[in-house]
Homo-oligomer: A and B are copies of this chain.
């Protein structure tokens, strides 16, 4: 083990800042020889991970990166990225996880706004940066990342290639203690209006999020996150809220990790099979892609547990997965919340049901995790009853919420109105504390003087056997204010008409779940549902297209 030197006496030796370096001590201790795998390319051990983090810290310092400097990463999901999750904040610098799916203009905007000092960039994104590098006003240099024997030749001002820099760097770095409130990471939300907004998290916040995440996952009868046979593979991009923070928790516990690189559905399924992956997390879109592969039909997925977040999981998706033995759970949070706020909590009696019949329980938003305070409020900020019926905006307090938006304090004021973080989600809370997100405030359809949840309607449409995916938005209507308008993507080879779907929805009218005016007159059958860069349904774009 590196770094066994005794730390010099401090004035208050008992003071112990919550720094990301302290998340790294236990994993290599629990399992020094445990593997960290990079797709079908390479693998190494936790002992190697520590060695490489020390080398990366020295390489970056040698390249002139100092405390407070922002280091951007543009890479696929790789163990290199995991090393950056640790080494960059551990030297006191700030990790900027660049969303590589943004437009070149937005990427330039975020990199200038974050004041990136050094950029680690994968070959695949080098052409993009070559186009725009003259617009990047703060970048001093580039480190190249490659999966080939040689990095792509480039006109960028490169410091060197990652592996070569690590090879020649010293394998010991004295990671300093500093204020736990120092910013560790930043990234940009992918709002559908205006420029991306920068959120940022401190060392303290990431450490506390990691520890509470353990508590939440641990408080589950079923989710076997922390066992010696646990195999973890993230399927949420590492630029997307630090892959929901799970790589930190996995590393803290020393469990086997598999990084898939690019998200090619067949490759993902092959990795799950080969490494007997037990735990993943992803957005519904990616799950749909994996479920549509040929190879998934021959996989034993009865021990694969998947936390679904980013968008609401539909009952249809959960049931389709259950047919293959996949156990899905809902995770709830957002970029501004680091992200975890709540997750599915199944009761013993839920688990006694056949897996498919558990779907209605699994798609519920779930129960807030330890340390999180959560309420629903009316527009004046008054708390509303937890009766399972009353809907209000979900607000929260937790130790890991963004303070606001980087360099745009005025936007953070609305976010933090009244001392609670406002999620922009409409929810109800049951008497037993189970949260159910009903919709985004701005996606709720106001029709005939009442609120109709677009999510509820999507969920009902998704249960028609011919439907692969759907999106519902409100469109202006002179008589009713708004009317629901659905886009439907059918499963290839399947057929359904407007009338079929309307008839399908009548069962929910009969059961009292919706009124008959909730059934849309307008359903467009489409090849694709518009998505944002992180795979969420882009309702803003859908509304714009329908209006134009």
Contacts and interface: CB of A to CB of B under 8 A. Distances in A.
A226 B4 CA distance: 33
A507 interface: no
A6 B420 contact: yes
A348 to B, nearest CB: 5
Contacts of A371: 22-23, 25-26
A5 interface: yes
Nearest to A10: B419
Contact of A368 (B26, B215, B368, B382): B26
Contacts of A254: 219
Given A211-B212, A419-B13, A386 B26 contact: no
B375 A6 contact: yes
A1 interface: yes
A399 B229 CA distance: 29
A421 interface: yes
A9 B418 contact: yes
A218 B214 contact: yes
A433 interface: yes
Contacts of A219: 26, 30, 226, 253-254
A345 B30 contact: yes
B228 A347 contact: yes
A185 to B, nearest CB: 16
Interface centre among A220, A372, A397, A432 (most CB of B within 10 A): A397
Interface in A532-548: none
Nearest to A249: B215
Contacts of A345: 30
Nearest to A25: B373
Contacts of A220: 226
A30 B399 contact: no
* Interface range, A side: 35 or more
A370 B26 contact: yes
Interface string A388-412: 0000000101110111100000000
B372 A433 contact: no
A471 B114 CA distance: 64
Given A25-B373, A399-B16, A419-B8, A367 B30 contact: yes
A531 interface: no
Interface in A308-348: 345, 347-348
Contacts of A32: 432-433
Contact of A29 (B398, B403, B433): B433
Contacts of A269: none
A409 to B, nearest CB: 12
Give the 4 A-B CB pairs with smallest separation, nearest first: A9-B419, A29-B433, A26-B370, A211-B211
17 contacts: A6-B377, A6-B382, A6-B383, A6-B418, A7-B420, A9-B417, A9-B418, A13-B397, A14-B421, A16-B397, A25-B368, A26-B370, A26-B372, A30-B345, A214-B214, A219-B253, A220-B226
Given A6-B382, A32-B432, 15 more contacts: A6-B381, A6-B395, A7-B420, A13-B397, A14-B403, A16-B397, A23-B370, A25-B368, A26-B367, A28-B433, A32-B433, A217-B218, A220-B226, A229-B348, A253-B370
